[in-house]
C-alpha cells in the first residue's frame, strides 16, 4: 500500500489560511484544490452559527470537547522512565488490554506496525506542517470506543456530533493513560488522538483484528458496526500481536450499498467494487462530504447509522461470516429494511438536551 500525506486530508486542507506558509506551499503544489478549498473556508464551521443545526446552547458542547482535545494534544509524547521494568510479554499484553478496557475501551487489539500505517508528512498544524513522519515504534495498540446508538441514530442533528466529540475525548483519555503507563515502565509510547495522528487508526485497527473497512471507508466491527471511535498508542514495548479477522464485510458491502444510498451528499461510491491506492476498496469524495458537514454543522453520521452492523440485529451478530453467501446477505438486508426503512432515525433530542 502507498502511504498517505496528511497534508492532502480534508481536515488539514481547510485549516490552511491565506498568507501563511502552509497555504502558499500547499496550493503551489496542488493548484487544482485551491478553488474548492477557498470556497469551503468561506462557510460556517461545524457547530457554528449559520449552519443548519446550530443551537446557541447545545452546539458549543461539541466545540468544548474539541477545544479540550486541542489543549491536551501536547501531552501525547513525554519523558520515559530511565529504569526499565522487565516483564513477561504475555502478562504485559494482558495488563495493557485490561487497562484500556478498564478506562472504557470496548475493543482492543495489537499489531506490528508497517510502513503504510504512517502518514508520509504532517499537515494539521502550522508548527509541524510538512514535517516528515519518522517513528520507529514497533507496535500499535488500537482501541475502539462505542458511540451511543440512539445519539448516532439522531444524525445529522446536533446530538450526533455531541456523541462523536465525546467519544473522541474518551479515546484520547484511554490513549493518554496507556502511554503514560508504558513510559513509566521505561519504554517509549505515543498517544495518537484527534488532530494529532502520525498514522491512520483505521488501517492499524484492521490489521489488529478489530474489524474490516466498509464501503463508507470507516472501520466496521462485528460488534458495533462503524458506530465507534478509534485511538492508537504506539510503543517499542514488546507485546503479543493479534491476527486480522474477516467476517465477509466486502461481500456484504458489495450488495448492501445502504450508506451510499442514504448519503446526503452522494459522496460514497455505489460501485460494486473499486480499486484505490493500490488496493481493492471503496472511496468517498472527501470534498463533497465535508462541504455537507459545513452546511449541516455536524459530522452527519448518516452512513454510520445506515450500516446494518451498527444496529442491534441478531441475524448479523450470530453469523460467523457472510463471505460468498449472497442469499444470506439478502435476507439480512430485507430484515433491516422492514425494521428501519432506509435507515433508523430517532427524532428529537434526548431529555437532557431539550
Residue pLDDT tens, the chain, 354 long: 889 999 999 999 999 999 999 999 999 999 999 999 999 999 999 999 999 999 999 999 999 999 999 999 999 999 999 999 999 999 999 999 999 999 999 999 999 999 999 999 999 999 999 999 999 999 999 999 999 999 999 999 999 999 999 999 999 999 999 999 999 999 999 999 999 999 999 999 999 999 999 999 999 999 999 999 999 999 999 999 999 999 999 999 999 999 999 999 999 988 876 555 555 568 899 999 999 999 999 999 999 999 999 998 888 988 999 999 999 999 999 999 999 999 999 999 999 999
Place of cell 456523541: 163
Q: Are strands 107-112 and 139-146 parallel, antiparallel or unpaired?
A: antiparallel
Q: How far is CA 65 from the centre of its chain?
A: 16
pTM metric for this prediction = 0.96
Element (H, E) at 311: none
* Of 268, 273, 272, 271, the residue nearest 285 (C-alpha): 268
Tell me phi and psi for residue 278, to 5 degrees: 80, 10
Q: In angstroms, rounded to a whole number, what is the distance separating the alpha carbons of residues 132 and 142?
A: 23
- Give the H/E segment covering residue 175: helix 158-184
Q: Is 19 helix (H, G, I), strand (E, B) or coil?
A: coil
Grid coordinates representing 88 are 513477561
Amino acid at each position: 500500500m502507498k502511504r498517505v500525506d496528511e497534508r492532502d486530508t480534508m481536515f488539514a486542507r481547510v485549516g490552511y489560511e491565506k498568507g501563511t506558509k502552509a497555504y502558499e506551499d500547499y496550493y503551489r503544489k496542488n493548484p487544482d484544490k485551491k478553488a474548492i478549498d477557498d470556497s469551503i473556508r468561506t462557510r460556517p464551521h461545524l457547530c457554528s452559527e449559520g449552519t443548519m443545526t446550530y443551537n446557541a446552547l447545545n452546539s458549543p458542547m461539541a466545540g468544548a470537547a474539541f477545544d479540550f482535545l486541542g489543549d491536551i494534544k501536547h501531552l501525547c509524547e513525554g519523558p520515559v522512565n530511565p529504569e526499565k521494568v522487565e516483564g513477561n510479554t504475555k502478562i504485559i499484553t494482558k495488563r495493557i488490554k485490561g487497562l484500556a478496557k478498564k478506562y472504557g475501551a470496548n475493543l482492543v487489539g495489537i499489531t506490528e506496525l508497517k510502513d503504510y500505517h504512517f502518514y508520509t508528512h504532517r499537515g494539521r498544524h502550522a508548527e509541524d506542517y510538512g514535517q516528515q513522519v519518522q517513528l520507529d515504534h514497533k507496535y500499535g495498540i488500537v482501541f475502539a470506543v462505542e458511540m451511543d446508538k440512539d445519539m448516532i441514530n439522531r444524525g445529522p442533528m446536533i446530538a450526533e456530533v455531541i456523541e462523536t466529540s465525546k467519544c473522541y475525548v474518551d479515546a484520547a483519555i484511554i490513549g493518554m493513560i496507556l502511554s503514560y503507563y508504558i513510559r513509566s515502565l521505561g519504554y517509549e509510547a505515543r498517544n495518537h488522538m484527534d488532530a494529532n495522528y502520525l498514522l491512520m487508526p483505521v488501517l492499524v485497527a484492521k490489521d489488529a483484528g478489530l474489524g474490516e473497512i466498509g464501503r463508507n471507508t470507516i472501520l466496521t466491527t462485528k460488534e458495533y458496526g462503524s458506530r465507534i471511535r478509534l485511538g492508537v498508542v504506539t510503543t517499542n514495548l514488546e507485546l503479543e500481536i493479534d491476527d486480522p479477522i474477516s467476517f465477509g464485510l466486502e461481500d456484504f458491502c458489495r450488495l448492501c450499498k445502504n450508506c451510499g444510498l442514504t448519503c446526503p451528499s452522494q459522496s460514497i461510491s455505489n460501485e460494486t467494487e473499486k480499486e484505490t491506492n493500490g488496493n481493492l476498496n471503496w472511496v468517498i469524495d472527501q470534498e463533497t462530504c465535508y462541504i455537507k458537514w459545513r452546511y449541516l454543522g455536524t459530522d452527519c453520521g448518516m452512513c454510520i447509522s445506515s450500516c446494518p452492523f451498527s444496529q442491534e440485529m441478531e441475524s448479523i451478530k450470530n453469523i460467523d461470516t457472510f463471505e460468498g453467501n449472497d442469499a444470506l446477505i439478502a435476507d439480512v438486508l430485507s430484515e433491516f429494511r422492514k425494521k428501519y426503512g432506509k435507515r433508523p432515525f430517532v427524532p428529537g433530542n434526548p431529555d437532557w438536551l431539550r
